[in-house]
Amino acid sequence: MRAAATLLVFAACGGGGGDWTTRKVAPVTASFEGKSFTIDLPEGMRQKADKYEVRWDFLEGEYAKTPEISVSTHAAWKTVDDYAKSESKVTTWVRKETLADGFIAVHENMNYPGKEDYIVYAVKGDWGCMARVTPWSRGDSVKDKLPAVEKMCLSIKSAK
């Protein structure tokens, strides 16, 4: 009985929110500076908008959880090489690739080396997408979740 009560309290406080990569993914429509776009995101992500970007994350209990996805039309870099130069302190690159309509770069967050904290940055057409991916629970690994976040950022399309 005590174990069941502990589990209920843990779940109610936001712990054990599950693996977000198993949630159903669906297109979400949003707009920024009068331009509409769609992006494929897992169910349960909350949307926040400000004058600089549109953002999504998960709210589990009282805690915001990653991935945190930010989309805007103000892509600061036009090529993967320019982005890599701007991130000169990064020592662990997972992916740097030029695409037909932009690029994608994935690397360890240089502010938290060795902490399972990654940045995904993609430019696709007119859109820029930056995501941060961190563990939901201490000791978890997120490197295997990076392809799912890459797929989210690369799913951006201007809406008609």
Look at residue 13 and tell me if it is in a domain.
no
Q: What is the CATH number of the domain that holds 28?
A: 2.60.120.1690
Residues 79-119 pLDDT 10s:
999 999 999 999 999 999 999 999 999 999 999 999 999 99
pTM of the model: 0.85
Cis before 135? omega within 30: no
Look at residue 6 and tell me if it is in a domain.
no
Look at residue 92 and tell me if it is in a domain.
yes
Domain that holds residue 151: 19-158
Can you give the pLDDT at residue 7? Answer: 31
- DSSP lists the bridge partners of residue 133 as 118
The total of structural domains in the chain comes to: 1
Residues 5-25 pLDDT 10s:
333 333 333 344 568 999 999
Look at residue 89 and tell me if it is in a domain.
yes
Look at residue 77 and tell me if it is in a domain.
yes
Look at residue 47 and tell me if it is in a domain.
yes
If we measure between CA atoms, which residue out of 25, 34, 22, 64 comes closest to residue 47? 64
Instruction: Provide the token pair at 135.
Output: 């563990």
Look at residue 2 and tell me if it is in a domain.
no
Look at residue 9 and tell me if it is in a domain.
no
